[in-house]
Amino acid sequence: MSIIENHKTVGSPLSEGAKLRARDVCVFYGEKQAIYNVSLDIRQNEVIALIGPSGCGKSTFLRCLNRMNDTIDICNVTGEILLDGDNIYDPRVDVVPLRATVGMVFQKPNPFPKSIYDNIAYGPRIHGLASSRVDLDEIVEKSLQRAGLWNEVKDRLHAPGTGLSGGQQQRLCIARTIAVDPEVILMDEPCSALDPIATAKIEELIDELRENYTIAIVTHSMQQAARVSQRTAYFHLGQLIEVNATDKVFTTPEHQLTEAYITGRFG
């Protein structure tokens, strides 16, 4: 029997007082199963990194956490995901406010073809978060400040967002996520399109954001996982193999598959 058929998750996938709890989550694309019975808690104000070889299901699992997989017709999710104890897959849940509370930043910066100001103001307008122009101005400024972009753009708020550098665009997308008052931010390889300097800025920002938000980040870079996260979850062929404190995962992993991956024997 292969290791994977026989595996039991090691580490501590469950915890007290978690912000998000995934229980026995399976994901299917049509007939094909991509995630197998994953149970994992994500704690308040932590950065958790999801790592593993290409195709192991990191992004699929991340997208379960704010029902982004609902946008893929053939995708079917079973199991339970609780946000502060409430099942986000309950049919009564409206995914629009859910995706504001559990926001997402994608691999490639995707600003709207609008001004910097309107990129940030768009969400608060739809969600009715500002009662006046002054309110809206305040949200825009605060979000850009939290995303570490305010000083670079405050004199050109009405210039197109697409005119910013790649790293600035990604911080704009983070500011846009922040503007609708999220509690959790999901990041799917947010630095893979960025140079090392822009990457360092986003990593610094992730560390600052942890004070106010809970963050789950998918990354291919083990150095990045080590730099930004407190816990790391290792996925392999759709299964959660190990979750532990990040320094433990990278120094004394409990599972031989984790060890093989971090030492570069596959992946």
Ligand X SMILES: Nc1ncnc2c1ncn2[C@@H]1O[C@H](COP(=O)(O)OP(=O)(O)OP(=O)(O)O)[C@@H](O)[C@H]1O
Position 57 contacts ligand X (CB under 6 A): yes
The 10 Å Cβ neighbour count of residue 96 is 10
Q: Letter for the amino acid at 1?
A: M
Residue from 14, 45, 55, 256 binding ligand X (CB under 6 A): 55
Binding track, positions 68-97, relative to ligand X; x by CB under 6 A: ----x-------------------------
Are 27 and 59 in contact by the 8 Å Cβ rule? The answer is no
Residue from 18, 25, 34, 194 binding ligand X (CB under 6 A): 34
Q: What are the residues whose beta carbons fall under 8 Å from the beta carbon of 31, sequence distance 6 or more? A: none
Within 30-69, strands assigned E span 32-43, 47-51
Are 40 and 243 in contact by the 8 Å Cβ rule? The answer is yes
* 42: β partners: 20
Are 166 and 190 in contact by the 8 Å Cβ rule? The answer is no
Residue from 28, 29, 36, 250 binding ligand X (CB under 6 A): 29
Residue from 54, 71, 131, 132 binding ligand X (CB under 6 A): 54
Nearer to ligand X, 201 or 236 (CB): 236
For residue 159, the minimal CB distance to ligand X (Å) is 32
CA dihedral 9, 11, 13, 16 (to 10 degrees): 150
Position 2 contacts ligand X (CB under 6 A): no
Nearer to ligand X, 213 or 234 (CB): 234
The stretch among 56-64, 138-146, 161-169, 194-202 that binds ligand X (CB under 6 A) is 56-64
Chain residues that interact with ligand X, rule: CB under 6 A: 29, 34, 52, 54-60, 72
